Structure formats: C-alpha cells, structure tokens
Amino acid sequence: MLEFSYLRIVQKVTEKYTYQRGLRFFLDGRVESGTKMILQNWQIFNVIGRKKVYTVKMPLLHLLLPVRDFQAGEKALEESVLCNCEYFEINGVCKHIVAVCAHLDKKFGIKKAKKIGDKSLINTFFEVEQKKKYKKWIEDFQYYIEAQGLQDESNVLSQTMESIVSEAFQNTTKYKEILNKLGQIAQDSLVDYQKEKRIANLISNKKFLLLANNSWWKFWKPIFGQMEEKNKLQILQKLWTIYINSPNQLSDLREDLIDINKKLNEKQKNEIIEYVAENSYLNKDENTLLQLALDISCKTYLEKKIELLDPIFLIKLVQIAPDYTEAIEIKLLNQVKLWSDFLQLGRYDEIVDVMKKWKSTLGWSEIFQEAEQYIRLSHKNKRKLIKLISKL
C-alpha cells in the first residue's frame, strides 16, 4: 500500500507555481493550528496572506478515507476542500490549501498505511530548503567578514545575520554544526586585521547581543581572546555601554566583563569609563560610573572621585586599593560623625548598615572604635542607635 500524503495528493491537482507558493507559505509559518468543526474529522485553518487572513476548511482525509481509497485522495480533496480566497472561487485548489496540506503532512505523517522506506515529500522538501538556507548563511557570513569597504552592511545583516541570530542562537544545540562552521570562518579571519575589525563590530552589535543574549557572547568569547588588544578594548567599551543601558537583559555578561577587565591596565580601564560616559543613555550618571569603576577596579578614577564617594563606595574602594585603608577610614569616621549629628531620632537603619559593612569588611580597627565611641559620648539620647551598634 502507498503512504497517505496530503502534499502528493494536492500536487496532482495544482499548478506548479501555485504548489511552490503554497509550500513557501507553510515554511514561512503562515498556517495557524486547526480548529475542530462540528463535522467529525473536519478542521478550519487560518492562513495568513499578505493583505488578509484566509480560511481553509479541510477534511482529515487520512481518517475519513478507507485505506483502499487512498489513491483517490486527490478527487476527494477537490470535492470537499474549501477556501474563501478569490483564486479558489475561479480556479479551485489554491496556495492556501497547499500550505494546509503541508501542515497536515508535517503534523500527522503516514497514517493507516505501511511505510515504504522513503521520506515524506514535505520532509524531503524541508531538508532541501534548510540546506539552501545554511549555505546562504555561510556564504553571507563569510562575505560580510571578507568584503572590505562594504557600504550596505544593513542588507547583509538584516537578511542573514538576523536569521542566524533568531534561529541558530536561540537553539545552539540544534544548530551546533552550523555554528561551528561560522566560528571556524571567524577564527580563520583573524590573520587579517581588516577582517578582525569587522568581527569586532559584529561581536559588539547591540541588536544581536540583546536578541541572542548569553549565547551570542558565549559563541564569540573564544575568538575575542585571540584578537588584537586595540580591538578587544573597542569591544569591551561597547559591551559595557550596552550592559549598563540594559542590565536586566544581560546580567550574566557582567561577570565575564569584570573578569576580563582585571587583566587591563589603568589607562585602558579609564578609556572604558570615558567611553561609557559619552555613549551611555545615563548621560554621565556619577553613581553608575563609580560602580563601573569599582567593577573594573579602576583605582585612578576612584581616587579622583573620592570626595564624591558615599560610605559604601568608600568601603568597596578599600578592597581594591588597600594602600588607602587608613585615609579612607578617616574619611568614613568624619562622615559617620557628621551623619550621626544630624540624624533624626529612630532613623538608624542606614547608618547601622554602614557601620556593619565597615566592621565586617575592614575589621574592628582603632578608627572604627573611635566612630563607635563618638556616637556613645556625643549622642547619649540616641539609646537605640547605641544599642544597635554595640551588637555589631
């Protein structure tokens, strides 16, 4: 017995052009899941056209026809199927019906028949289309890296890179083989400085980084490690800017950036901060830049801004610049004294948190004890504050 295939049936009753367009509709995801009709084994499908949504009423022939009548499937299809498009009214079976047939073949496969060993028509067609797409991915990816002076980058990026990012980087396990090939192309291109610059721009592309999230950086990280220092710095500047503008979407990226920045010198770290200050949406927000300086351990920037640092930042600064411990503790002492003098009764949580952080991070130093002593002697009426600090 022959297998039952909706596509083989519909192919016999449609023009070649109509058939091919219907397959394209299916592959583009234009067929929505079917809805059951009152009649048993009938379904309604919506097919998204260019201007409107069309309705196809389709009998599930693999369930309705006896196996002995499978060969008459095309006749049964023509006698029963309906579509509300103009083409169907004049010519009969249309591309929307072809798209639904492809959908049914993909969904149900072979029913009520012996397997004949060959692949279904839709699977064969789908595999051919996939191979064509992967070939185009590789060719366009290589063209983007190799084409010097390419003006219309957006054309290559929009048509190929967006496809790669939206598909391959969303399911790296499924597309492991193709991603390995793309990675090898990038790897082999590092011997050419101009190509490496184009790769640097690709790695730090904001749109792709946000779309693919962690998988984008994970893919590029091994290649990044082999690049020229100048290109690395350019990438880090852009990645930090993108992260600071979208921290919730790229939380996992931060740890990697911090680790990489440990290997940079002070000049490079300052260049990153300057770049972020000029290009971040936050428009030189001082607290954000101070946090960035702490993240990348940029001592020279923090030293210049020491007068602006609040107690928590000062405590963090000691961790990356231990040589300044005494000077910073003296500044902490003065801040705590001033703070306690103007502190309203009962509002002690913040100063207690700072004292706790100070002691746990820097220890019970003489300067810390002096701060405790000052509060006890100068603010005897703030009994609750004294009690809370004594428990630290």
Confidence class of residue 85 from pLDDT cuts 50, 70 and 90? very high
Q: What angle do CA 315, 318, 320 make, to 5 degrees?
A: 120
Burial class (CB in 10 A: 0-12, 13-18, 19+), 170: middle
As a whole number of angstroms, the distance between CA 109 and CA 338 comes to 78
Q: Which residue has the higher pLDDT, 257 or 136?
A: 257
Confidence class of residue 92 from pLDDT cuts 50, 70 and 90? very high
Asked if pLDDT for residue 111 goes beyond 60, the answer is no
DSSP secondary structure letter of residue 161:
I
Query: Which residues are 42's β-sheet partners?
Result: 59
Please list, residue by residue across 341-361, b when 16 or more beta carbons sit within 10 angstroms of its beta carbon and e when fewer do.
eebeeeebeebeebbeebbee
Asked if pLDDT for residue 159 goes beyond 90, the answer is no
Asked if pLDDT for residue 118 goes beyond 60, the answer is no
Per-residue pLDDT of 195-240, as tens digits, reads: 898 899 889 988 888 888 788 999 999 999 999 999 999 999 999 9
* Residue-level pLDDT at 95: 95
* Residue-level pLDDT at 115: 41
Confidence class of residue 162 from pLDDT cuts 50, 70 and 90? confident
Asked if pLDDT for residue 98 goes beyond 90, the answer is yes
End-to-end CA distance of the chain: 84
* Residue-level pLDDT at 63: 86
Helices (H) and strands (E) in the chain, counts: 23, 4
Least confident of 132-141, 152-161, 368-377: 152-161
As a whole number of angstroms, the distance between CA 196 and CA 309 comes to 40
Percent of the chain's residues with pLDDT above 90:
25
Confidence class of residue 183 from pLDDT cuts 50, 70 and 90? very high
Confidence class of residue 279 from pLDDT cuts 50, 70 and 90? confident
Least confident of 106-115, 184-193, 233-242: 106-115
Decide if 228 contacts 198 (C-beta within 8 A): no
As a whole number of angstroms, the distance between CA 385 and CA 363 comes to 20
Helix or strand or coil: residue 355?
helix
Q: Mean pLDDT across the chain, nearest whole number?
A: 83
* Residue-level pLDDT at 149: 47
Residue type at position 389: I
Q: Phi and psi at residue 294, in whole multiples of 5°?
A: -70, -40
Asked if pLDDT for residue 144 goes beyond 90, the answer is no
Helix or strand or coil: residue 65?
coil
Per-residue pLDDT of 296-329, as tens digits, reads: 888 888 777 776 677 877 887 777 777 778 877 8
Q: If you average pLDDT over residues 249-258, what whole number do you get?
A: 84
Prediction pTM value: 0.59
Decide if 203 contacts 224 (C-beta within 8 A): yes
Decide if 23 contacts 126 (C-beta within 8 A): no
Decide if 325 contacts 318 (C-beta within 8 A): yes
Helix or strand or coil: residue 175?
coil
DSSP secondary structure letter of residue 56:
E
Q: Which residue has the higher pLDDT, 50 or 258?
A: 258
Whose tokens are 């231990």? That residue is 322
* Residue-level pLDDT at 121: 54
Confidence class of residue 333 from pLDDT cuts 50, 70 and 90? confident
Q: Which residue has the higher pLDDT, 96 or 148?
A: 96
Asked if pLDDT for residue 116 goes beyond 50, the answer is no
Confidence class of residue 113 from pLDDT cuts 50, 70 and 90? very low
As a whole number of angstroms, the distance between CA 192 and CA 60 comes to 58
Choose from 19-28, 29-38, 78-87, 334-343 the range with maximum mean pLDDT.
78-87
